[in-house]
Chain A
């Protein structure tokens, strides 16, 4: 029995879409896995020494334990958005003569090998090894590590329960916000009392039994949950939520483009995949913090800031825009045979991106805190995004013919939709161009000249909007048959 399951699993792995891609992408993916794995291992290995150096009077293990709660909550959030439920593949196994219990054990067991479980392992294993080399008591360290892994697994199983109900998710999300706010205003610091708990795990190693039991308990709950719903209309059925129609008729003022814009808004709000992308683009807003907090960049290499400024307002543009025709891949044939001029279709996507850049720009107002220079830079970056990056993105979309399943969350590392060498090539000018356009006048004239050049390029792009859109439309028209054929292929 197990043999069969394993061979199924192996086939699924080998034949998964991300292995069917070209060699170059395989190598890139492999490097990405190595890179992230390497970072995790490195962090784990260095963490001890870094903490020791920064907080010389606190034991690093105590420090780690104090902040463990944040890591756990963070992991929970990431998993909620990224990790797929395993139950969806149950259907073909239902009518095969295998006991239900073994199918369920198999499904749940499979999740242990999930990518997400390895993040913690790769961080905490090197950390524990360092601890051992530093002469920490073996029993304590080993059992502490074991406890952490049990907690890791508990999160894994807890996530599936959370995914089944929105209330649990919003509960946890507000809890996180409350914790952070309370700590920020120095009202109450949860790290201490929770830290006591985790330190207890370390000091009293036999307590590792508690996370172990929690893990077993959550496994059991999941097991019962699936067992009870082992029917087509039970746990494995997709939830069909009742539709709450929103009135978007105020958008009619956009004239010809209104039907498309309304449709795009619905597409984004009603499907898992685009929602994920919008979430991601929200995080782009914080990208500037990496750069504007470092005086090195501000004093010595302000042209790097042009890149950051472009990123802050360009989150949606970059992540949504690069998949432009793909978002409509599920019904592309209809769009192509309906009474729709290509031009309007493209123009509506353009407006959507422009609005997104504008909204991001408004949301980026707090960056004034870092000074008007920075804020003006973001403004220039936004103009550049609207005037040039939108067109480059739409142009790149014409070369992208990967269908998207709208209502399926993208999995980590299998999210290779639209990930191909051409996309990478198209992405380069989007990122390097603003740096270049800023750098040349900055180097020869002044900082302000750089800003003006950046803004001016964007403004020029807006002036020549029709010209660009015409060119792009021609490219889309030429590729139409190929795109239709590619989108109607089943994945």
Chain B
């Protein structure tokens, strides 16, 4: 689904990301971990063509993301609050995204109905602008908006941060289902080792912009990751 080739990004001659080769097959739930400044968000921004690669390229479904816009219809993402439109209510925002992705009101409503649990009655029908919601609730809205329109690739940057425990557990279930049942390629980054090992089939550890570990998740993975980050 996603192929990375000799991708690097430098700012003023300082390399912040360098990925020789990376293949993410369709339907994989892919986890990215690493300390601050390891290059996680840089990688996601490159995937979304928000920054320009210094060398190399990313292909998504054989489309060069920095040259064509054809990846946009099947890719969705939530990186941070700047993906929300602050002056809309949650519903208006969902419908807006729906319209952009060719979904009518009832399609969106049907999808939202599945996430009633996840919203925990704090998002819909609140008559509040998104900018007036708490950080956690903003995040919930952003994540669900990323699921609208049957995307084939979903990119979530630190989706577990700021969420309450109940929602974290529900989100884990949602991500697992997406990859397993619907064959969606999900890319997640996180600082919470336990959550990623729970959710992802494959975990890549970044350090100073380079891949230092590429693990297929198993019983031993969590221990291995903990050992890695202890040093």
Contact = CB atoms under 8 A, between A and B. Distances in A.
B131 A407 contact: yes
Contact of B73 (A332, A333, A339): A339
B100 interface: yes
Interface in A238-271: 240, 242-243, 245, 258-259, 262-263, 266-267, 270-271
Interface string B74-96: 01110110111111110010001
Given A339-B149, A484-B50, A485-B51, A240 B100 contact: no
A263 B50 contact: no
Contacts of B82: 330-334, 488
A143 interface: no
B99 interface: yes
B128 interface: yes
Interface string A464-491: 0000000000000000010011001000
Q: Which among A240, A266, A331, A485 has the greatest number of chain B C-beta atoms within 10 A?
A: A331
B20 interface: no
B132 interface: yes
Size class of the A contact interface (CB-based, 8 Å)? 20 to 34
A270 B87 contact: yes
B127 A340 contact: no
Given A341-B69, A407-B131, A259 B100 contact: yes
A243 B83 contact: no
A271 B50 contact: no
A266 B92 CA distance: 10
B72 A258 contact: no
Q: DSSP class of A's interface residues: helix, strand, loop or mixed?
A: helix
B87 A266 contact: yes
Given A333-B79, A338-B72, A271 B87 contact: yes
Given A337-B77, A339-B73, A341-B69, A263 B51 contact: no
Contacts of B64: none
Contacts of A242: 127-128
Interface string A275-290: 0000000000000000
B65 to A, nearest CB: 10
Nearest to A268: B87
Nearest to A239: B132
Contacts of B19: none
B50 A243 contact: no
Chain B interface extent, by class: 20 to 34
Nearest to B131: A407
B115 interface: no
A267 B96 contact: no
Contacts of B102: 339
Nearest to A329: B82
Given A245-B92, A330-B82, A484-B50, A338 B99 contact: no
B84 A331 contact: yes
B48 interface: yes
Given A259-B99, A338-B100, A339-B72, A407 B86 contact: yes
B207 interface: no
- Which residue, of B77, B83, B84, has the highest number of chain A Cβ atoms within 10 A? B83
B119 interface: no
Contact of B83 (A334, A340, A407): A334
B201 interface: no
Contacts of B52: 481
B210 interface: no
A485 B42 CA distance: 12
A182 interface: no
Interface string A40-66: 000000000000000000000000000
Contacts of B73: 339
A139 interface: no
Contacts of B48: 333, 336-337
B172 interface: no
10 contacts: A243-B129, A263-B85, A331-B86, A338-B76, A338-B100, A338-B101, A339-B100, A339-B102, A406-B86, A484-B51
Given A339-B102, A406-B87, 10 more contacts: A240-B132, A243-B89, A245-B92, A259-B96, A259-B100, A270-B87, A271-B87, A334-B85, A337-B49, A407-B86
Pairs of residues from A and B, 9 with the lowest C-beta to C-beta distance, nearest first? A334-B83, A259-B99, A337-B48, A270-B87, A240-B132, A243-B127, A339-B72, A481-B52, A242-B127
Interface of A: 240, 242-243, 245, 258-259, 262-263, 266-267, 270-271, 330-334, 336-341, 406-407, 481, 484-485, 488
